[in-house]
Amino acid sequence: MGMRFVQSFRSYTFVDSISQGYIAITGLEILCLHGDAVPKWPFFVLAHVLLFLLIHNLVRLQASFPRHGILDFVRHFYPVLLYTFFYRETGALNHMTFAGYFDPFFIRLEQRLFGMQPSLMFMEKFPFLPVSELFYAAYFSYYVMIFGIGLALFFRGRAQFFHYVSVLSFIFYVCSLIYIFTPVVGPRIFYPELCGIRLSPDAMPAFVPAFPEAIKAGPFYQLMAWIYSHLEAPGASFPSSHVAIGLCTAYFSFLYLRRIRYVHLVVVILLSLATVYCRYHYAVDVIGGLVTFLILVPLGNKLFFKFSHAELDGNSRNVGQSKTDFPATHPPATKKCK
């Protein structure tokens, strides 16, 4: 029985392993650290156990029926489908070790570094609807990038898709763990009507400008307001996952989808600026997102190519891929992917 259970893990890919690892780690954190901060902690622990078993059986089932189209799609795309759940969950878990938020420290840091609050002054300097809609549209493009690049690589070749979703998920899981232990709301904390949180008066900047009415009339502003009112996780600001993951998607455009790479990069740059302009992130969050990208993409690549050779061989044969599916920047993988 035990041997059969161990053998059932043979169909796991690298992204399956890190996804199950994240589920197990956060489940144990809830079990051991919940205290009074997570009133419904048994529900969260049970959800993690069920999700672990669901993914495990999904992987096993797809291994038994590898040519089933819908099952194949769900089995490979499930990490992306779970990002919203994991992201939202961080907002319910981020007071297990710290009762408040770290925003006062970040506000003081911004003031020391820039002599002002860039997240307040950027929009104040350019309070124009065309400018704001450009930035809010770029911010919204984050969701399009994740799914769009994923779908393009999924239908282009499973080996490249595995590479993409593995490194992307690695970044996402590390960011989520940081959010749980380092809750930072971001500039929305200056507006209690938006986030329901009030800073002490001594932590507030001297001047908090209102959102211009012309900007609030924009369709992309209203779309993002709806998304944040329904899907936002308070405390998930530093480092900016929008910047880290947006840059990661652009990185894979440069690797595998070169026709769109420069347009994609321009949109990611606009997205990074939008995080500050739209008052979702401090400027240091953007720097943190850039550093996160620079550290975790090489590390994610190293781990992926170290642990994925055998499984990529099998998946490449199943979908008729060749050793040219990976760029020459990864010679170990190109030799083993047939």
Three state DSSP letters for the chain: CHHHHHHHHHHCCHHHHHHHHHHHHHHHHHHHHCCCCCCCHHHHHHHHHHHHHHHHHHHHHHHHCCCCHHHHHHHHHHHHHHHHHHHHHHHHHCCCCCCCCCHHHHHHHHHHHHCCCHHHHHHHHCCCHHHHHHHHHHHHHHHHHHHHHHHHHHHHCHHHHHHHHHHHHHHHHHHHHHHHHCCECCHHHHCHHHHCCCCCHHHCCCCCCCCCHHHHCCHHHHHHHHHHHHHCCCCECCCCHHHHHHHHHHHHHHHHCHHHHHHHHHHHHHHHHHHHHCCCCCHHHHHHHHHHHHHHHHHHHHHHHHHCHHHHHHHHHHHCCCHHHCCCCCHHHHHHCC
pLDDT score at 249: 98
Q: Are 38 and 91 in contact (CB under 8 A)?
A: no
Query: Quick one: average pLDDT of 173-199?
Result: 94
Tokens 């990976």, located at residue: 326
Asked if pLDDT for residue 331 goes beyond 90, the answer is: no
Residue 311 lies in domain: 100-336
Q: How confident is the model at residue 335 (pLDDT cuts 50, 70, 90)?
A: very low
pLDDT score at 337: 37
For residues 178 and 87, what is the distance between their CA atoms, to the nearest angstrom? 11
pLDDT score at 327: 56
pLDDT single digits (tens) 264-290: 999 999 999 999 999 999 999 999 999
pLDDT score at 325: 52
Flag whether the pTM goes above 0.95: no
Cis upstream peptide for 42 (omega within 30°):
no
Total of domains in the chain: 1
Q: Is 130 part of any domain?
A: yes
For residues 116 and 107, what is the distance between their CA atoms, to the nearest angstrom? 9
Q: Is 29 part of any domain?
A: no
Q: Is 202 part of any domain?
A: yes
For residues 45 and 92, what is the distance between their CA atoms, to the nearest angstrom? 13
pLDDT score at 6: 54
pLDDT score at 333: 41
Q: Is 72 part of any domain?
A: no
Low-confidence winner among 8-17, 51-60, 195-204 (lowest mean pLDDT): 8-17
Q: Are 15 and 169 in contact (CB under 8 A)?
A: yes
Angle at 82 between CA 232 and CA 257, to 5 degrees: 100
Q: How confident is the model at residue 65 (pLDDT cuts 50, 70, 90)?
A: confident
In 3D space, the residue among 180, 298, 172 whose CA is nearest the CA of residue 244 turns out to be 172
pLDDT single digits (tens) 205-231: 988 999 999 999 999 999 999 999 888
Q: How confident is the model at residue 309 (pLDDT cuts 50, 70, 90)?
A: low
For residues 141 and 107, what is the distance between their CA atoms, to the nearest angstrom? 27
Q: Is 155 part of any domain?
A: yes
pLDDT single digits (tens) 118-165: 999 999 999 999 999 999 999 999 999 999 999 999 998 889 999 999
For residues 51 and 116, what is the distance between their CA atoms, to the nearest angstrom? 45
pLDDT score at 320: 35
Q: Is 27 part of any domain?
A: no
Mean pLDDT across the chain, nearest whole number? 89
Q: Is 32 part of any domain?
A: no
Q: Is 35 part of any domain?
A: no
CA dihedral 154, 157, 163, 165 (to 10 degrees): 10
Q: How confident is the model at residue 66 (pLDDT cuts 50, 70, 90)?
A: confident
Neighbours of 42 (CB within 10 A): 12
- Give the tokens for residue 63: 């291994």
For residues 182 and 238, what is the distance between their CA atoms, to the nearest angstrom? 8
